[in-house]
Amino acid sequence: MSLVSAISKTILDLIFPKRCLGDCGCYDVWICSACLQAIRRPLTECPSCRRTQKTNIVCPECRDASPIAGLTVASDYQVRIVEQAIRAMKYQYVEEIAEVLGACVAQALSEETTVRTWKKPVVIPVPLHRTRKNERGFNQAELLSRVIARQLDFPLRTDILRRSAATMAQATLDRSARLHNVVNAFTVRKRVELSDKPVILVDDVATTTATLRACAKELKKSGAGPVWGAVIARSHQ
Ligand SMILES: [Zn+2]
Ligand SMILES: [Zn+2]
């Protein structure tokens, strides 16, 4: 951290003291350990048809049509603190929250039997379009990916996937519009050869998984092995 940002951070901490996002009233942490306990893993399901099953691997009926092999969801979206933490990370740029949430995703991933059999999968964040990244100043999926790659000791690649089209915010669209919105939005940079390497594709939140699938499709065109999605939460809207 530069001196200027260190000073401005100190000033910000004085004006807006850090406070747990839960209802506990704790100071000095974004999510205290008691509130962290509220984060619970949703039931395992097929990421495509959402039928409850024993694992998060795409079920046999959906397998042929799905470019993602499975999806890890770290928390139930209904947990209020998770929703608030995602919002704070995204709109207030609270990097420390990405640390906590990224650790939750890493923990959930480390328990996936399929992922455990992979040797050093490459961690790739869903990219933001340049314009949006400049507006926001960071890509939240990239912050999470850094934490996940560090904690699991997997290589991180932020230079492979590119968002070529400035798509509309998915949250503003209905289901079918969302699917169309992202279909051709992503490209893999030229001359990248993924030579069958398994990939962990990271985003903050998934809804229809249209974004994850569009990214996975491009990665697979460039030779990626199985692509496994990883998100903090999956919303039902
Ligand atoms: Zn708390
Ligand atoms: Zn299915």
Rounded to whole angstroms, the Cα distance separating 48 from 170 reads: 18
Residue range 198-206: average pLDDT? 96
For residue 182, pLDDT beyond 80: no
* Residue 204 CA, ligand 1 centroid: distance in Å: 21
Rounded to whole angstroms, the Cα distance separating 13 from 193 reads: 45
Cβ neighbors of 228 (< 8 A, separation 6 or more) are 68, 69, 70, 71, 72, 112, 114, 115, 121, 198, 199, 200, 201
- Per-residue confidence at 13, pLDDT binned at 50, 70, 90? low
* Residue 93 CA, ligand 1 centroid: distance in Å: 19
* Residue 114 CA, ligand 2 centroid: distance in Å: 17
Q: Answer for the pair 79, 31: CB distance below 8 angstroms, yes or no.
A: no
- CATH architecture assignment, domain 40-234: 3-Layer(aba) Sandwich (3.40)
Rounded to two decimals, the pTM is: 0.88
Rounded to whole angstroms, the Cα distance separating 3 from 6 reads: 5
* Residue 20 CA, ligand 1 centroid: distance in Å: 5
Rounded to whole angstroms, the Cα distance separating 154 from 130 reads: 25
* Residue 69 CA, ligand 2 centroid: distance in Å: 11
Tell me, what's the pLDDT at 191? Answer: 75
| High-pLDDT (> 90) share of the chain, % | 54
User: Across all residues in the chain, what is the average pLDDT?
Assistant: 88
Taking only the tens place, the pLDDT of each residue in 15-60 is 667 889 888 888 888 889 888 888 889 999 999 999 999 999 999 9
3-state secondary structure of 20: coil
Residue range 204-232: average pLDDT? 95
Q: Answer for the pair 74, 104: CB distance below 8 angstroms, yes or no.
A: yes
* Residue 66 CA, ligand 2 centroid: distance in Å: 9
Cβ neighbors of 209 (< 8 A, separation 6 or more) are 47, 48, 68, 71, 229
- Per-residue confidence at 132, pLDDT binned at 50, 70, 90? confident
Q: What residues does each domain of the chain span?
A: 1-37, 40-234
* Residue 13 CA, ligand 1 centroid: distance in Å: 18
Find how far residue 237's CA is from the centre of its chain: 17
